[in-house]
Every structure is written in structure tokens, then in C-alpha cells.
Amino acid sequence: MVRMNIAALPHDPARFPDEAASFMLTGPAGELETITDLAERPGARRGVAVICHPNPVQGGTMHNKVVTMVERALRESGLDTVRFNFRGTGASEGQYDEGNGEGDDLAAVVDWVRRVRPGEDLWLAGFSFGSYVTIRNAVRLGAHALISIAPPAGRWPFDGFEIPRCPWLVVMGEEDEVVDPQAVFDWIDGLEVKPELVRMPETGHFFHRRLMDLRGAVKAAARRWLPPERH
């Protein structure tokens, strides 16, 4: 699902690229490898989705097939998108920091989005470790909507930070072999404000043979929360 026509561009930090582009953004631990893409015009919405990848220690990158499918679903819904590699992943500089520095990487990317797209809605999305980073930072970054795919409750500390109250979708495979599905369901049951939960039967962690179903679930939720059209 990786789009192959993404141009490697010299980065102008004062603008959001007007075509699919790959470039480096300055982060707190060094340069961050970044890809942006555009929703089709007309029909694009006044919002940008930033999408975070799974644990790099276990091979996760922004090119992960679940990440690219979520990106596709949000772009098809009308949002421009940003993916980036956390510190120490791909061409991004720095070292893995167990979710702490990665949250600062996300904040740096969000800060750039807000500079080049002031006043637009910010959506955060993540898969596995990426969903942990986005959930943990959604309130402080002022996310307007949140998409969490296989959030690793039970594997990472899902306490000690403010729970989002924005529109929020969680998609969880019922046969996830990496994240305990029941731990996720129990965590959600204990929340004061619960996200919308989509449980996918006969689905493992990487959504093998279910990626199109994942796309549909994300688009079904997104269409109810979209910002106005871009003019």
C-alpha cells in the first residue's frame, strides 16, 4: 500500500508540500524522516492526520502495512496525512526511548503541522506502539480526533496521563497474538469516557487478510467526525 510516486523534495519548513513528498523535519533528537500526502481535491477537508508506527525495536516503521492502510483510509476520507519514523528508525536520527522521546518526536511533527496549517483540525492515529504514543499525548497536543489500532494495553503503562475526550476509535482484533485483546477490552471498560470500539473476529495483530475491513472501519468512523471542506 506504499505509494511509489512520492517525490524526495528539499524541505521548505514554511509550507505543507503541494504533492506527495518525502523529506526531513527537525525533531528534538535530530532529523525525522517524514512523508506527507494529499487528499484528492475537491473534497479535501480542513484537517491533517498524523499517523504513528509500531515499535521500532520489533521492526516497526512508517511503511508498515497497517500504518499505510490507515493512512489510505484517512486520505480517502479527505484528510491530508503525515507519517514519520520515530527517532532511530529508518533515516531518523536519535535513539529509541521507550515511548518518552517518541512522544516528543510526535509533538515536534504536530508543531510543524500547526505552523504550516494554522487553524485546521489535527487528527492522531497509531498502530500498536504508535497508538500508545498517540493516546498518551493526545490531550496535551489538542487532538480533534484519535484513531487507535491494537493499542497495547497490558504491555505498556496506560495510566498516569489524561484520557482523551475527543472522538476516538479503537479497532482490535479478537485473535491478536501480540496484544492481549481482553486486556484492551478491560482497559476500555474501566475508562470514564469510552472510545468507540470495533472488535474484529478472526483477526490477528497485523490484520492479515483483514486490511480492507480495517480500512472500512476507519472510514466509517471518520466520516462522522470530519471537519468542513477545504476551499
Q: How many of the other CB atoms lie within 10 Å of CB of 174?
A: 13
Residue type, 79: L
pLDDT for res 201: 97
In the block, residue with C-alpha cell 475527543 = 166
Which candidate, 113, 123, 23, 18, places its Cα nearest to that of 71? 123
Q: Going from the N-terminus, what domains does the chain have, and what CATH number goes with each?
A: 14-222 (3.40.50.1820)
Angle between helices 129-137 and 100-116 (to 10 degrees): 60
Residue % of the chain over a pLDDT of 70: 95
- Phi/psi at 219 (nearest 5 deg)? -65, -35
- Label residue 2 by pLDDT band (50, 70, 90): very low
pLDDT digits (tens, 9 = 90+) for 123-177: 999 999 999 999 999 999 999 999 999 999 989 999 888 999 999 999 999 999 9
- Label residue 231 by pLDDT band (50, 70, 90): confident
- Label residue 12 by pLDDT band (50, 70, 90): confident
pLDDT for res 1: 32
